């Protein structure tokens, strides 16, 4: 157990180190002089030289890499060219809507997908099962931004059920701000429910085929009890896994959904950063999100140990 933990944590450190390296390389891959690119065509040679030394681009590449990695490990992801502020605080300033959008949509997706997935597995082959699978596949095929635009037009603009876009006035209260996230969360929740539904159904099918389920049935236990007492408990594990897996999907979805609904979150920030050639912000967002993904997946693996006593490492 302790050995497994150490191994996993070491593995995670290696992966995070590689994440940093990849993020470093991606930005260095930019053709031409990054400083000139960032400043645009009107910049003078002196401006470019000043920015180069500010960014440390005039030092040898290995020195740049070392200071980048040591900085990142201490929570220093560089300075935004556009905001002239540390990347970490720029990202943190935009984190609130992204975090709540992701959380709400995850809850919505779980609330939609897990009961349907379990019921579909239980009534395998029924009309409801086939309908659920087809709907899930359809939901996974529709671009999330398209669903977002449609909902925005028909549910927000035409019917006026939800605010159409934005995140409230700068002095809007927390509750008011969250109100702006309802429709985007529904959109993102629907998209993410597809994966969770398929996953829950598949793992429930596995469990329903297990020996102990047959034993419970042959003891004369009612189907309801079999499903609720025996199968459901064991379905917790795959549901935990899928939360880890959907994280990447949630973030990708949030980037696009924030753009649709004009929510000033991290996704919108990254897209604007691309248009402004603010590379440190793009790099910082990549590092933060990928590190979170690695961390969340480590945590879900560790949760296994707590939930399922059979899992031994």
Partner 1 sequence: MAAPSAASPDANFLALLFSRRAVLLALIVFAAILLLCLFAPLVAPADPMKMSVRARLSPPGGDFLLGADAFGRDVLSRLLYAGRVSLMIGLGVAALASVAGVAFGLLAGFFRRLDGPISRLVDAMMAFPDILLAIALVSILGGSVVNVIIALAIVYTPRISRIVRASTLVIRELPYVEAARALGSSTRTIMFTHVLRNILSPIVVQATFIFAYAMLAEAGLSFLGVGIDPKTPSWGTMINEGRQYLDQAAFLIVFPGLVISVSVLALQLIGDGFRDALDPRLAKDL
Binding site for partner 1 (CB under 8 A): 11, 14-16, 18-19, 21-23, 26-27, 29-31, 133, 137-138, 140-146, 149-150, 152-153, 157, 201-202, 205, 248-249, 251-252, 255-256, 259, 270-271, 274-275, 277, 279, 282-283, 285-286, 289-291, 293-294
Output 292 or 311, the one with its CB closest to partner 1.
292
CB 122 within 8 A of CB 132: no
Distance of CA 308 to the CA centre of its chain: 25
State the nearest-atom distance from the C-beta of 3 to partner 1, in Å: 18
State the nearest-atom distance from the C-beta of 223 to partner 1, in Å: 21
State the nearest-atom distance from the C-beta of 84 to partner 1, in Å: 20
State the nearest-atom distance from the C-beta of 184 to partner 1, in Å: 15
Output 16 or 43, the one with its CB closest to partner 1.
16
State the nearest-atom distance from the C-beta of 195 to partner 1, in Å: 12
State the nearest-atom distance from the C-beta of 219 to partner 1, in Å: 26
State the nearest-atom distance from the C-beta of 286 to partner 1, in Å: 6
CB 94 within 8 A of CB 268: yes
> Three-state secondary structure along the chain?
CHHHHHHHHHHHHHHHHHHHHHHHHHHHCCCCCHHHHHHCCCCCHHHHHHHHHHHCCCCCHHHHHHHHHHHHHCCCCCECCCCCCEHHHHHHHCHHHHHHHHHHHHHHHHHHHHHHHHHHHHCCCCHHHHHHHHHHHHHHHCCHHHHHHHHHHHHHHHCCCCCCCCCCCCCCCHHHHHHCCHHHHHHHHHHHHHHHHHHHHHHHHHHHCCHHHHHHHHCCCCHHHHHHHHHHHHHHHHHHHHHHHHHHHHHHHHHHHHHHCCCCCHHHHHHHHHHHCCHHHHHHHHHHHHHHHHHHHHHHHHHHHHHCCCCCC
State the nearest-atom distance from the C-beta of 54 to partner 1, in Å: 20
Q: How many angstroms separate the CA atoms of 192 and 253, rounded?
A: 9
Output 178 or 207, the one with its CB closest to partner 1.
207
Output 162 or 178, the one with its CB closest to partner 1.
162
């Amino acid at each position: 157990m302790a050995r497994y933990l150490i191994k996993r944590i070491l593995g995670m450190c290696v992966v995070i180190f590689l994440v940093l390296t990849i993020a470093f390389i991606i930005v260095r891959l930019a053709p031409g002089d990054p400083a000139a690119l960032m400043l645009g065509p009107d910049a003078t040679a002196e401006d470019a030289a000043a920015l180069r030394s500010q960014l440390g681009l005039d030092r040898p590449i290995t020195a740049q890499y070392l200071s980048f990695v040591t900085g990142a490990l201490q929570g220093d992801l560089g300075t935004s060219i556009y905001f002239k502020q540390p990347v970490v605080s720029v990202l943190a300033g935009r984190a609130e809507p992204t975090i709540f959008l992701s959380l709400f949509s995850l809850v919505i997706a779980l609330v939609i997908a897990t009961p349907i997935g379990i019921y579909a597995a239980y009534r395998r082959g029924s009309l409801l099962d086939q309908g659920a699978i087809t709907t899930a596949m359809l939901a996974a095929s529709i671009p999330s931004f398209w669903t977002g635009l449609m909902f925005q037009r028909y549910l927000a603009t035409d019917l006026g059920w939800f605010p159409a876009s934005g995140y409230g006035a700068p002095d809007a209260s927390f509750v008011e701000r969250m109100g702006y996230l309802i429709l985007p969360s529904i959109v993102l929740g629907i998209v993410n429910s597809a994966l969770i539904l398929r996953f829950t159904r598949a793992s429930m099918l596995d469990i329903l085929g297990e020996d102990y389920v047959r034993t419970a049935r042959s003891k004369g236990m009612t189907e309801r009890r079999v499903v609720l007492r025996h199968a459901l408990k064991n379905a917790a594990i795959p549901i935990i896994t899928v939360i880890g897996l959907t994280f990447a999907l949630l973030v990708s979805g949030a980037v696009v959904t924030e753009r649709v609904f004009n929510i000033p979150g991290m996704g919108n920030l990254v897209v604007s950063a691309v248009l402004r050639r603010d590379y440190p912000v793009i790099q910082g967002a990549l590092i933060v999100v990928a590190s979170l993904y690695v961390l969340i997946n480590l945590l879900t693996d560790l949760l296994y140990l707590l939930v399922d006593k059979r899992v031994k490492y």
